[in-house]
Chain A
């Protein structure tokens, strides 16, 4: 495959000349127990093709039956996005040929989505609120999972064959489609990330999805086009498919803006096409151009009857909605006692849920913030990953904190332990055990180190004796060195004072 280097224009330069126009399609996998149209279990990670029924495989003569819970979850998502809920809607067949669907169609909704005309307010990092209008949220089913084998890269290009697992085939999906988003300007990448984060936060709060992007529970297709500043007609758009982390959404939008600007500046036209996102190079490459293949010949699904909603049903579901995210944030800030700036930093770092879980699991608000905003954020930045993808959980922090509180390790060692946890070496206790990182509390070992330090630094000892207690700090270095950083500073101080016969 010929990989040519895309020409790019610097982001800020591009934005001086063009206005970006965005649109997002976010697919949310529901966490129902069973699939959309069959009673097969909806479970991630099982042995391929074991969570399937004849319906999932599209065998002849099968009849789909709608999962009531999935419909209710779709309505709840619609309500949380301030949508109108259709009084009556139906399912349609979207016809296409690809081995991810064994039936040669995906059961979806076409011109009558269950939810439509909504909005969601997105808070950007500077505190400004940007309203994104929702066009529709409709119900459909997920496709099977293809793994492309052979070739050099494991990508679809150059693959020798593909392997198909239909466990995911028929998993309930809600696809949320925005209206065209104008006016984001240079904050388009940030808005893209914040929008997907907000959708994820909502479906997680509703408990209708596991909302793990790394597992594909929430997937984003990002549409980007540019138009010259002041123009009224939208430019040609591209759709970057399956951008599956918050950072990737931000990067993909930024990349497409830079690429579009270069194409337009050269006098060429943007090709309306899908683009593939490559996380490794943080670039997109050309996928399939829009063509006849996009004529999906939707028609009403003859095997499924319409869904009719009543006011009573909708109100019953509305009563099940959790508090809206904005109110929730206000409550959390008050509960945790964070300042406005501290809380905004937490929200922007995307660790609100983690901190909430950590506090619920038993640490103070200050301890939770210290770790999630400090060492964990630093490790994520170094690894160039989302915090959520580091493998650190609330349990990790609780365990780490209790190790500190019980004086098994000190703060400095705890930071090292966390690093080993992130590297996959086990839980904090396991790491401490395996790497023998426990603090040296053994007074004889400490005593020897202290004696050596005191002998080497008689002037310091004299100062301490003379009442300058803070001079003890100078002894700490050699003691720590002798104990490989594992001495408990408080205990060292106590022992020094004891040895000199001074009351602490």
Chain B
């Protein structure tokens, strides 16, 4: 029994705005299940006194001083924009028809 159901994957796909075919859902359910089980086996190996980590390297406090650096020009910023008005990005109305 996989830790991830097909419904879980379909739900995640919807949240992530990814369109998936039935075949892709089946495939991903299996693959994600394997990943979840693999991670679970790490938890078994780690005892309670091992703190959780989110990074492979034990680094902390990587900071930048508060000093202004170079910026893009508006033209550069908008270079890949599908549409723009003056120096702003133009996007479709999001809550259309509400």
CA distance A49 to B75 in the complex (A): 9
B87 contacts A50, CB within 8 Å?
yes
**Residues in A16-62 with C-beta less than 8 Å from chain B:** 32-34, 38-41, 47-54, 57
Nearest CB of chain B from residue A273's CB, rounded to whole Å = 13
Question: Which residues of chain B are near A288, meaning CB under 8 Å?
Answer: 95
What string of 1s and 0s marks CB contacts (under 8 Å) between B58-98 and chain A? 01111111111111111001100000011111111111101
B55 contacts A302, CB within 8 Å?
yes
B93 contacts A305, CB within 8 Å?
no
Instruction: Point out which of A1, A98, A162, A293 has the most chain B C-beta atoms below 10 A from its C-beta.
Output: A162
Q: A49-B87, A50-B74, A161-B93 are in contact. Are A302 and B64 (CB under 8 A)?
A: no
Nearest CB of chain A from residue B58's CB, rounded to whole Å = 9
A68 contacts B87, CB within 8 Å?
no
Q: A40-B69, A52-B72, A300-B54 are in contact. Are A65 and B64 (CB under 8 A)?
A: yes
A97 contacts B17, CB within 8 Å?
yes
Is residue B15 contacting chain A, with contact meaning CB distance below 8 A?
yes
B88 contacts A164, CB within 8 Å?
yes
CA distance A156 to B96 in the complex (A): 8
Nearest CB of chain A from residue B68's CB, rounded to whole Å = 5
B60 contacts A53, CB within 8 Å?
no
A53 contacts B69, CB within 8 Å?
yes
Question: Which residues of chain A are near B86, meaning CB under 8 Å?
Answer: 48
Is residue B14 contacting chain A, with contact meaning CB distance below 8 A?
yes
A308 contacts B61, CB within 8 Å?
yes
**Nearest A-chain residue to B17, judged by Cβ:** A97
A65 contacts B68, CB within 8 Å?
no
15 contacts between A and B (CB under 8 A): A34-B66, A49-B74, A53-B69, A57-B72, A68-B65, A95-B16, A99-B89, A161-B90, A163-B85, A163-B90, A166-B77, A288-B95, A297-B12, A305-B60, A307-B60
Which A positions have Cβ atoms within 8 angstroms of B?
1, 32-34, 38-41, 47-54, 57, 65-71, 88, 90, 95, 97-99, 146-148, 150-151, 156-166, 288, 292-293, 295, 297, 300, 302, 304-308
Given contacts A99-B91, A162-B91, 8 further A-B contacts (CB under 8 A): A47-B74, A65-B64, A68-B63, A97-B17, A165-B89, A292-B15, A295-B15, A306-B54
